[in-house]
């Protein structure tokens, strides 16, 4: 096991390095410049700006400089917001995004699984239909529409919640719901479908025959196997949600880090693009690793660290 973990960790560094390299050359291959503004500036000014950020050097030299500073975990300064370093951006944006993300994920996972299990137990019954209609709406109404509707109804019309910003726990309710809807629906669908499969397995029937209650069957036997697809998508979902949602953060004016992913690229703010990519990728790879470990715990038959047949 220890050997397996070590080999995964080494692979992680290599994977990250490949991602960094591809992203670096990709972003320099894409047309545009961080200094393209609606307002005009002169050629000389552009050159001064490029020199200031070493953008006038050959791309490969820039790459070497970047890798060197990356080795010390220094992501460099943002070009667009010149008063901020990328480390600072992530440092203050991530906790906010993570907080929102954790709340949303908890809502999504708990309610999604409950809905899915209920639907599976009452397969083709009324509860099943209601739960799945719920899920269909959750998936097909995108979160920007959901968010705007929630604000308009609950904040503007009924004045129950504040409209936006990130000032107090009350401010977190609407964005958490808006962000949780999609993942909740997906989890509900996946839980239901794998639950249905598992519930038809022989060992469940045996358990039932032995007189176990439905609750016992679900928690002791069925859940364990039905969880697998949910765990699979949770890996990427956690990484995605915790590093912030651009749309939700924009609509609710939340100072998270979601906007840096999009704005960094739109502004061709090279250090921001690299910093967010490295951070996200590292997080994601780690989560996928955790998922593989959880596979093994959930189902001892799955052995990843032995050579295949």
Partner 1 sequence: MGLPEQKEGKIQAPDDLFVPLRESSADAEMIAKPSISYWKDAWLRLSGNKLSMSGLVMLILLVTMAIIGPMITPYSYEHQVLTEGNLPPSFEHWFGTDNLGRDMFTRTWNGARISLFVGFMAAIIDFLIGVAYGGFSGYKGGRVDHFMMRIIEILYGLPYLLMVILLMVVMGPGLFTIIIALTVTGWVGMARIVRGQVLQLKNAEHVLASRTFGASASRVIRKNLLPNTMGPIIVQMTLTVPTAIFAEAFLSFLGLGVQAPVASWGVMANDGLSVILSGHWWRLFFPAFFISLTMFAFNVLGDGLQDALDPKLRR
Partner 2 sequence: MKKLVVLLLSLVLLLGIVGCTTTENSSSNSGSENDESKEESKKVLKLNNGSEPTSFDPPIGFDSVSWNALNNLMEGMTRLDQDDQPQPAAAKEWELSDDGKTYTFHLRDAKWSNGEPVTAEDFEYAWKRLANPDTASPAAFLAYFIEGAEAFNTGEGSEEDMMVKAVDESTLEVQLESPVPYFPSLVSNPAFFPVHKDTVEADPEWHTEADTYVSNGPFKLTKWEHDSKFVFSKNENYWDVANVKLDEVDWAMVDDTNTEYQMYKTGELHTSDVPADLSEELFDNGQAQVEDQSGTYFYRFNLDMEPFQNENIRKAFAMAIDQQKIVEFVTKNEEKPAHGFVAYGFEDASGGDFREVGGDLVTTDANKAKELLEKGMEEEGYNELPNVTLTYNTSDAHKKIAETLQQMYKEVLGVNIDLANQEWNVFSDEQKQLKLQFSRSSFLADYGDPINFLESFQTGHSMNRTGWSSEEYDSLIQQAKEETDEAKRFELMHEAEALLFEEMPIFPIHFYNQVYLQNEDVTGIVRHPVGYMELKDAAIK
Applying CB under 8 A, the residues found at the interface with partner 1 are 7, 11, 14-16, 18-19, 22-23, 26-27, 29-31, 124, 132-133, 135-137, 139-142, 144-145, 148-149, 152, 186, 189-190, 193-194, 196-197, 200-201, 225, 228-229, 231-233, 235-236, 261-262, 265, 273, 276-277, 280-281, 284-285, 288, 292, 295, 299, 301-304, 306-309
Q: Which residue, 194 or 245, has its beta carbon nearer to partner 1?
A: 194
CB of 80 to partner 1, least distance (A): 16
Instruction: Work out the end-to-end distance of the chain between its first and last CA atoms, rounded to an integer number of angstroms.
Output: 19
Query: What does the per-residue mask of binding to partner 2 show for 141-160, with x meaning CB under 8 A?
Result: -------x--xx--xx--x-
**Binding residue for partner 2, selected from 28, 62, 63, 99, defined by CB under 8 A:** 99
Q: Is there binding between residue 28 and partner 2 (CB under 8 A)?
A: no
CB atoms near residue 266 (< 10 Å):
12
CA–CA gap between residue 292 and residue 286 (Å, rounded): 10
Distance of CA 164 to the CA centre of its chain: 22
242-to-54, 85, 156, 177, 192 alpha-carbon distances in Å:
33, 21, 28, 15, 25
**Binding residue for partner 2, selected from 197, 204, 216, 255, defined by CB under 8 A:** 255
Query: What does the per-residue mask of binding to partner 2 show for 185-224, with x meaning CB under 8 A?
Result: -----------------------------------x---x
CB of 42 to partner 1, least distance (A): 26
CA–CA gap between residue 256 and residue 92 (Å, rounded): 8
Taking only Cα atoms into account, the Rg of the chain, rounded to an integer number of angstroms, comes to 24
**Binding residue for partner 2, selected from 114, 164, 212, 233, defined by CB under 8 A:** 164
Cβ proximity of 190 and 116 under 8 Å: yes
Q: Which residue, 128 or 269, has its beta carbon nearer to partner 2?
A: 269
Q: Is there binding between residue 35 and partner 2 (CB under 8 A)?
A: yes
Q: Which residue, 157, 118, 151, is CA-closest to 135?
A: 118
Q: Which residue, 24 or 161, has its beta carbon nearer to partner 2?
A: 161
Q: Which residue, 41 or 133, has its beta carbon nearer to partner 1?
A: 133
Q: How many helices (H) and strands (E) does the chain have?
A: 13, 0
Q: Is there binding between residue 90 and partner 2 (CB under 8 A)?
A: no
Q: Is 154 exposed, middle or buried (0-12, 13-18, 19+ CB in 10 A)?
A: middle
CB of 22 to partner 1, least distance (A): 6
Q: Which residue, 99 or 155, has its beta carbon nearer to partner 1?
A: 155
CA–CA gap between residue 287 and residue 81 (Å, rounded): 30
- Torsion 79-82-87-92 (CA) sign: negative
Total residues contacting partner 2 by CB under 8 A comes to 65
As given in the structure block, the two tokens for residue 74 are 């220094």
């Amino acid at each position: 096991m220890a050997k397996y973990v070590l080999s995964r960790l080494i692979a992680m560094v290599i994977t990250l390095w490949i991602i960094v390299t591809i992203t670096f050359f990709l972003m320099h291959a894409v047309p545009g410049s961080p200094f393209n503004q609606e307002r005009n500036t002169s050629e000389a000014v552009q050159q001064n700006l490029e020199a200031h950020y070493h953008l006038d050097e050959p791309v490969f030299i820039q790459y070497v400089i970047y890798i060197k500073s990356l080795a010390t975990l220094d992501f460099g300064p943002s070009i667009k917001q010149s008063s901020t370093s990328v480390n600072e951006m992530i440092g203050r944006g991530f906790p906010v995004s993570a907080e929102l993300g954790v709340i949303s994920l908890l809502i999504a996972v708990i309610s999604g699984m409950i809905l899915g299990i209920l639907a599976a137990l009452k397969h083709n019954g009324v509860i099943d239909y209601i739960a799945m209609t719920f899920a269909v709406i959750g998936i097909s109404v995108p979160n920007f529409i959901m968010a705007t509707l929630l604000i308009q109804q609950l904040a503007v019309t009924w004045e129950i919640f504040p409209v936006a910003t990130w000032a107090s726990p009350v401010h977190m309710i609407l964005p958490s719901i808006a962000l949780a809807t999609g993942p909740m629906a997906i989890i509900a669908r996946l839980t239901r479908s794998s639950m249905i499969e598992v519930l038809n397995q022989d060992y469940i029937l045996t358990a039932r025959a032995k007189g176990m209650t439905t609750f016992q069957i679900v928690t002791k036997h069925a859940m364990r196997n039905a969880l697998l697809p949910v765990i699979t998508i949770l890996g990427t979902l956690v990484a995605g949600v915790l590093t912030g949602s651009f749309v939700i953060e924009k609509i609710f004016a939340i100072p998270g880090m979601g906007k840096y992913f999009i704005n960094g690229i739109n502004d061709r703010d090279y250090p921001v693009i690299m910093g967010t990519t490295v951070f996200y990728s590292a997080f994601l790879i780690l989560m996928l690793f955790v998922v593989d470990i959880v596979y093994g715990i959930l189902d001892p038959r799955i052995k990843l660290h032995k050579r295949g047949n």
